[in-house]
Structure 1
Amino acid sequence: MEEQKANVRAVERALDILLCFTDSADLSLSEIAGRLSLHKSTVHRLLATLENKGFLIRNAQTEKYRLGFRLWELSANMSHSDDPATIWLPEMERLKDAVGETISLYVRDGLERIRIQAVQSNQAIRRVAPIGARMPLAVGASSKVLVAYADPGVKEEVLNDPSWPASIDRAAYIEQLEQIREQGYATSVEERELGAAAVSAPIFNRNGKLVAALAVSGPSNRLTVERMVEISGPIKEAAYRMGKMLK
């Protein structure tokens, strides 16, 4: 029994190591050990196993690790036929061509949102949206959409989160959520990042359940409040069509 627990714990730790690379391209043994609060000796053994299996590659000069080609082999065999991030890509491309800004797709994961798909703008100055990025739910147009249309329990959890920014008034935030539900979209100007603005609309499946948030983002001097109101219609229409694509 103890041996089984030890094996499960080793698997969990190995997976935790791989998850460290969701926001970093390469990491050293010390950096990984620090992130996971594990002894270096423990991490070293797991890194050696992951490297031998091809899941990680070690740079002999920098002594840092990066994801290996075995992960690409696994991803190549994933089924994309029912993957919304793949199904919706052509619609996101059309929206990008229509509004001229970067298009992103977000889903909620606990008290964070994750960007699962993005189409970059062709503008010389544009918002770069890396896939896989995680952001808090308290700020940003997409965050507010994901909270506004979430179950009441989720809203309470978000509002009572100990990490809630002191600069954001909860009562005002709740009013924003009500307004978002009335108008069908959310906007944000420099809420999370200076010089950036975004407008977002919800994507519902055929049963009316919130699935994701569709967002248009760009420089705030180009994506003004007036411009965001102007393109809110095309964004909501695109979100509606995307929802109808789901089974």
Structure 2
Amino acid sequence: MEEGKLTVRAVERALDILLCFTGASEMTLTEISAGAGLHKSTVHRLLASLEGKGFVMRVENTDKYRLGYRLWELSANLSKEGDPGIILLPEMERLRDLLGETISLYVQDGLARVRIQAVQSNHAIRRVAPVGARMPLYVGASSKVLVAFAEPALQERLLASPDWPVGLDKAAFLQQLGETRRAGYATSVEEREPGAAAVSTPILDRGGRLVAALAVSGPANRLTLDEMLKQAPAIMEAARRMGTMLR
């Protein structure tokens, strides 16, 4: 039993190392050690195993590592059927052309949201939205949407999470969720990062189930609250159309 526990722990640590690369394409041993919260000797040993299997590789003429080609092989076999990030891309591009701002698609994963698709604004000054970015569920327009339209159990887990920020008022957050449900969309201005604003609405499938949050984001000096309120009907209509495209 003890050997089994050690084996599972080694797997978890190896996965933690791979997850460090969600925030950077190349990392040193020291950076990986800090990101994974593991001793350098442990990281070095696990990196050697991951490198041997092709999951990581050394960057030539540097002391850095990057993800290996084996992950590309695995991703090539991801099922595209029913993938909202692919199915909804043309509609996202259409919305970007209509509004001129960056369009993103988020899904809930545990107590976080993940950007699974993005269409960048054509403006010279814009918010670059990297696909795969992971953000907490307690802040931001899309987070409010994903929590407000989810099952009540998610709200309970989020509010009880030890990671809930000390200075964030839970009562005010719950009030925002209620307002989001009533309005059908949520806005945020510089909540998650300075100078950024976003408006988001839920995408519900034909069965009325929450699939994702559709968001429009941009610089706060261009995407003002008044501008977001004007855009909200078009965004909600786009989300409605998208929902009819999903099973």
TM-score range, shorter chain: over 0.9
- Per the alignment, residue 221 of structure 2 pairs with 221
Residues 163 and 5 of structure 1: CA distance in aligned 2, closer, same or farther (over 3 Å): closer
Percent sequence identity is 67
Q: Which residue is 2:172 aligned to?
A: 172
SS at match of 2:203: strand
- Distance in 2 (CA, whole Å) between partners of 1:129 and 1:158 is 24
**Structure 1 equivalent of residue 20 of structure 2:** 20
Structure 1 distance, partners of 2:2, 2:179, is 54
Q: Which runs of 5+ in 1 are unaligned?
A: none
What corresponds to 1:95 in structure 2? 95
Does residue 151 of structure 1 match 2:178? no
Q: How many residue pairs were aligned?
A: 247
Q: 1:190 to 1:38 in 2, by over 3 A?
A: closer
1:70 aligns with 2:101: no
**Structure 1 partner of 2:130:** 130
**Paired letter, 2:237:** E
Q: Deviations over 1:191-236 (max 9, x none)?
A: 1111111000001122212111100000111111111111111111
Q: Please give the per-residue CA displacement for 1:81-128, whole angstroms capped at 9, x wherever unaligned.
A: 221111111111111011100001111122211111111000011111
Deviates more, 1:221-230 or 1:27-36: 27-36
CA distance in 1 between partners of 2:8 and 2:172 (Å): 45
- Is this contact kept in 2: 1:23–1:132, CA < 8 A? no
Q: Which residue of 1 aligns with 2:85?
A: 85
Encode CA deviations 1:44-102: one digit per residue, 9 max, x unaligned. Answer: 22211221222211125331100112212222232212211111111111110111000
Structural RMSD (CA): 1.8
Aligned counterparts of 2:179 and 2:41: Cα–Cα separation in 1? 53
Measure the CA separation in 2 of the matches of 1:13 and 1:193: 30
TM-score, length basis structure 2: 0.92
Q: Which amino acid aligns with 2:159?
A: L
Query: What secondary structure sits across from 1:105 in the alignment?
Result: strand
How far apart, in 1, do the equivalents of 2:79 and 2:164 lie? Answer: 37
Give the Å deviation of 1:145.
Answer: 0.6
Task: State which drifts further: 118-127 or 7-16.
Answer: 7-16
Separation of aligned partners in 2, 1:210 and 1:48:
41
CA shift, 1:244, in A, is: 1.7
Alpha-carbon separation, structure 2, partners of 1:210 and 1:91: 18
**Higher mean C-alpha deviation, range 163-172 or range 122-131:** 163-172
Q: How far did 1:182 drift?
A: 1.1
Compared with structure 1, are the counterparts of its residues 166 and 15 closer, same or farther at alpha carbon in structure 2 (3 Å cutoff)? closer
Deviation at 1:136, TM superposition (A): 1.6
Q: TM-score, normalised by structure 1?
A: 0.92
User: How far apart are the structure 1 equivalents of 2:38 and 2:226?
Assistant: 51
Q: CA deviation at 1:153?
A: 1.9
Counterpart residue identity of residue 239, structure 1 = A
Q: Quick one: distance in 1 between partners of 2:119 and 2:145?
A: 20
Deviation at 1:238, TM superposition (A): 1.2
Counterpart-to-counterpart distance in 1, 2:43 and 2:14: 8
Query: Per-residue deviation at 1:33?
Result: 2.5
Moved more, 207-216 or 30-39: 30-39
Tell me, yes or no, if the aligned pair for 1:137 and 1:147 is still in contact at 8 Å: yes
State the AA in 1 paired with 2:153: G
Aligned partner of residue 132 in structure 1, secondary structure = coil
- Aligned-partner SS, 1:77: coil
Deviation at 1:144, TM superposition (A): 0.7
CA distance in 2 between counterparts of 1:165 and 1:14 reads: 28
Q: 1:214 to 1:38 in 2, by over 3 A?
A: same
Q: Show structure 2 runs of 5+ residues with no match.
A: none
